[in-house]
Copies of this chain bind each other. A is one copy, B any other.
Amino acid sequence: MKKLAFDERGFTFDGKPGFLVSGEFHYFRVPEEDWARRMDLFKEAGGNALATYVPWLIHEPEEGTILFDRGEKRDLQGFLELCREKELLVLLRPGPYQYSELVNDGLPTWLIRNYPVIRATDPAGKPFRDESVSYLHPLFLEKARKYYKAFAGVVRPYMASNGGPVAMLQTDNELSGIHMWFSGPDYNPETMGFGKEDGRYASFLRGKYGSVKALNAAHGTAWTSFGEAKPEREDGASFFSARRRKDYYDFYFSTVAEYSALLASWMREDGLTGPICHNSANPRENPRFRETVERMGKDFLLGSDHYYNLDATWAQNSPTPQYALKILLGNEMLRAFGMPPTVLEMPGGSPSDTPPILKEDLLACYMTNLALGLKGVNYYVYTGGPNYPGTGNTADIYDYNAHIRADGSKNETYGALFAFGRFLTEHAWLARSRRAASVNIGFEWEGIRSIDCDCEKLSYGGGKAGKLLERGWLYALMCSACAPAMTLLTEELDPELPLVVPVSGALSEAAQKNILSFVEKGGKLILTPVIPDRDQEFRPADLLSPLFGGAVFKKSGKTLRALFAEGVGCVYGMNAVTEAEALPPDAEVLARDADGGAVFVFRRPFGKGQAVFFGADFMMTSFTQPVFLESLLARLGAKKTAFSENRNIFTSLLEDGEGRRMLFLMNLYSGRQRTSVRVTRGGEVLIEDIELEPMETKAIEL
């Protein structure tokens, strides 16, 4: 078997770059007699790996009876042997959770029924859902440990280190989902240890604050010991409340990391080596895994799941530009974690019969993910089959409208799988390519996470700042000639690219210092739409004002009809946030209220660099917005990437750094569109009057 490895730029197989192309293939569903044929069909479509859950529900039907007995629907070993024979690498996902449209989300029924004490709870200690357990509850861990041990015993001989096909293991599944989707963080008193000096929560607070006095000063509380501290559901209406809430979220995500690390340690104890991965349920949830990534250390792969529709309640039925933005955001965050962007669950179908998953939509989805940086993919699911009786919660036949149907027939969508696989094979150089960018959007995990735990008192809320980043700047730049990348504000900042920083009123001191030093040394900055005056803990911290040399700002109450920018004209759809009332003499005004004249955008030299303040926020609506941003970025020395005359066609340019370039054009709409495109980056190329079918992402090698 080939040796799988990865770094920030992508995957390698025996050291040779390539895409990870995996298909979810449930040995506990697919009829055994058809395994070989379906594996061959997957390899024909360019696949090199398979993934499967190993459901506790199915392998321990009664407590204490753990069956890896090669029985029907339980023959994991037979599956792994056949994978070795077929030279398909394997990703195993032993839970404890699977979800996977199994009853109890894949946990054994006896566990759910007989041990209610393990359930996750709300702050009052009340369970909110039978199937949602508290990850670190000792009784739950005791039960799970036995299952993990049995699993390890079976799997060990099949590990890559032992010449087997199992190249990667996953801890649990879409962590935090079963809590956050239904209630919020888990407050199980036993797990969190409320009331105990050595409890998890007390230890977290002690680690963070050192003294109870410091804790009380931060939280506005009057505890006499750490053990006494007990969280409530906070509304974030005061800085105290917001800090208490944020601390609880940080604490909760640290317990998620602890749980993941614990599962990994069990694997190690039981002799399972090699990379371990985890799948964030949704690109926007990637920041929840900051503690997990830190704690898991080397040889850990964080990927995310990129569904566009799982039922009629989703906002969109097909991949759309809004979907593409979410994917770009997610992939850029994975890169910031040092990961090759990997889609651990890429739609292969849907558990719902409606909306249907259509081949045009699927191919556009795959190509769009590639255009936006994908390096590895696992289709969920490639193929299904009959559920073990009584274990399916959406159907008894788990067809999923997958590429290969439950009955073994080829779905129309197999064509999309095949076409995409062939494309990856024929353009293998893309496996190490990078997405070209003209501008960096700076962010920090704190900022994106504040969508979960905002502070109402900030001059501009974290939730609003997150939207401004995604639906304002990222969107408008995707409609412009200046392709955006994203960068962590606490890491070294690329001096070649202008840096846009959409912020709330809170930004860590580290980030503020880093930005200041970036501009000092020659960097070009756009700060918007406020000057942060608090740090990530909501303590006063205003390090960035000096950039603007004594300018006086005020919160604007204006309803803007438009901004007016010299040389550009009116810019519509902008909302006033911060006006500059008095400017330093060296400031250059770049945009004013088109009617009143108040200044909203200006720039000023600072150190060897330049700083632009941009006091308006916006959602992408009018093309005057990207036109204005292009002009602004040009003043800051940004170099264009590629420009689509029809701004509703997103572009993305992948480069290998040695002169190879692939241009992607995305028509993520249900009607035909035309455009002409001028590529600037890496040598000018003009592509004139090109027609794109509905839902077409076209790739053009330049």
Known A358-B670, A621-B311; judge A390-B318 contact (CB<8 A): no
- Chain B nearest CB from A128 CB (Å) reads 13
Enumerate chain B residues within 8 angstroms of A311, measured Cβ to Cβ: 619, 621
For the complex, count residues of A whose C-beta is within 8 A of B.
Answer: 54
Q: Mark A194-226, 1 if CB is under 8 A from B, else 0.
A: 000000000000000000000000000000000
Q: How far is the CA of A595 from the CA of B622 in the complex (A)?
A: 55
Enumerate chain B residues within 8 angstroms of A572, measured Cβ to Cβ: 393-395
- Chain B nearest CB from A299 CB (Å) reads 38
Is A73 an interface residue when CB atoms closer than 8 A count as contact? no
Is A114 an interface residue when CB atoms closer than 8 A count as contact? no
Q: Mark A300-319, 1 if CB is under 8 A from B, else 0.
A: 00000000000111011110
Enumerate chain B residues within 8 angstroms of A471, measured Cβ to Cβ: 312-313
Enumerate chain B residues within 8 angstroms of A623, measured Cβ to Cβ: 353-354
Q: Mark A664-702, 1 if CB is under 8 A from B, else 0.
A: 000001111100000000000000000000110000000
List A residues 613-662 near B (Cβ within 8 Å).
Answer: 619-624, 647-648
Is A512 an interface residue when CB atoms closer than 8 A count as contact? no
Q: How far is the CA of A103 from the CA of B354 in the complex (A)?
A: 42
- Chain B nearest CB from A73 CB (Å) reads 17
Q: How far is the CA of A573 from the CA of B395 in the complex (A)?
A: 8
List A residues 361-399 near B (Cβ within 8 Å).
Answer: 361, 390, 392-396
Enumerate chain B residues within 8 angstroms of A669, measured Cβ to Cβ: 317-318, 355-356, 358, 361, 670
Q: Mark A314-342, 1 if CB is under 8 A from B, else 0.
A: 01111011100000000000000000000
- Within 8 Å by CB of A670, from B390, B621, B695, lies B695
- Chain B nearest CB from A452 CB (Å) reads 21
- By beta carbon, the residue of chain B nearest A595 is B390
- By beta carbon, the residue of chain B nearest A316 is B316
The answer to whether B353 touches A561, judged by C-beta atoms less than 8 angstroms apart, is no
The answer to whether B322 touches A312, judged by C-beta atoms less than 8 angstroms apart, is yes
The answer to whether A361 touches B670, judged by C-beta atoms less than 8 angstroms apart, is yes
The answer to whether A354 touches B648, judged by C-beta atoms less than 8 angstroms apart, is yes
Enumerate chain B residues within 8 angstroms of A561, measured Cβ to Cβ: 103, 390, 392-393
Enumerate chain B residues within 8 angstroms of A695, measured Cβ to Cβ: 670-671, 694
> Main SS of the interface on chain A?
loop
The answer to whether B318 touches A670, judged by C-beta atoms less than 8 angstroms apart, is yes
Enumerate chain B residues within 8 angstroms of A312, measured Cβ to Cβ: 321-322, 471, 475, 619-621
Q: How far is the CA of A671 from the CA of B356 in the complex (A)?
A: 10
Is A520 an interface residue when CB atoms closer than 8 A count as contact? no
Known A392-B561, A394-B573, A595-B390; judge A354-B647 contact (CB<8 A): yes
Is A130 an interface residue when CB atoms closer than 8 A count as contact? yes
- Chain B nearest CB from A509 CB (Å) reads 34
- By beta carbon, the residue of chain B nearest A353 is B623
The answer to whether B694 touches A622, judged by C-beta atoms less than 8 angstroms apart, is no
- Within 8 Å by CB of A672, from B358, B475, B622, B671, lies B358
- Chain B nearest CB from A637 CB (Å) reads 27
Q: How far is the CA of A208 from the CA of B311 in the complex (A)?
A: 44
Q: How far is the CA of A532 from the CA of B317 in the complex (A)?
A: 35
Is A41 an interface residue when CB atoms closer than 8 A count as contact? no
List A residues 586-635 near B (Cβ within 8 Å).
Answer: 595, 619-624
Q: How far is the CA of A671 from the CA of B413 in the complex (A)?
A: 11
- Chain B nearest CB from A287 CB (Å) reads 22
Q: How far is the CA of A390 from the CA of B594 in the complex (A)?
A: 9
Known A471-B312, A572-B395; judge A354-B620 contact (CB<8 A): yes
Is A291 an interface residue when CB atoms closer than 8 A count as contact? no
Q: How far is the CA of A320 from the CA of B621 in the complex (A)?
A: 21
Enumerate chain B residues within 8 angstroms of A670, measured Cβ to Cβ: 317-318, 358, 360-361, 669-670, 694-695
Is A570 an interface residue when CB atoms closer than 8 A count as contact? yes
Enumerate chain B residues within 8 angstroms of A322, measured Cβ to Cβ: 312, 317
Q: How far is the CA of A356 from the CA of B356 in the complex (A)?
A: 23
List A residues 545-570 near B (Cβ within 8 Å).
Answer: 559, 561-562, 570
Q: How far is the CA of A671 from the CA of B672 in the complex (A)?
A: 12
Is A479 an interface residue when CB atoms closer than 8 A count as contact? yes
Is A352 an interface residue when CB atoms closer than 8 A count as contact? yes
- By beta carbon, the residue of chain B nearest A397 is B570
Identify which of A320, A393, A395 gathers the most chain B CB atoms within 10 Å of its CB: A395
- Within 8 Å by CB of A648, from B351, B356, B395, B673, lies B356
* Interface positions of A (Cβ within 8 A of B): 103, 130-131, 311-313, 315-318, 320-322, 351-356, 358-361, 390, 392-396, 471, 475, 479, 559, 561-562, 570, 572-573, 595, 619-624, 647-648, 669-673, 694-695
Closest 6 CB pairs between A and B?
A358-B671, A360-B671, A670-B670, A352-B621, A353-B623, A694-B694
20 A-B pairs in the complex with CB atoms less than 8 angstroms apart: A311-B619, A312-B619, A316-B317, A318-B670, A320-B355, A321-B354, A351-B621, A353-B623, A353-B647, A354-B623, A358-B673, A359-B671, A360-B670, A392-B561, A395-B570, A395-B622, A396-B562, A669-B670, A694-B694, A694-B695
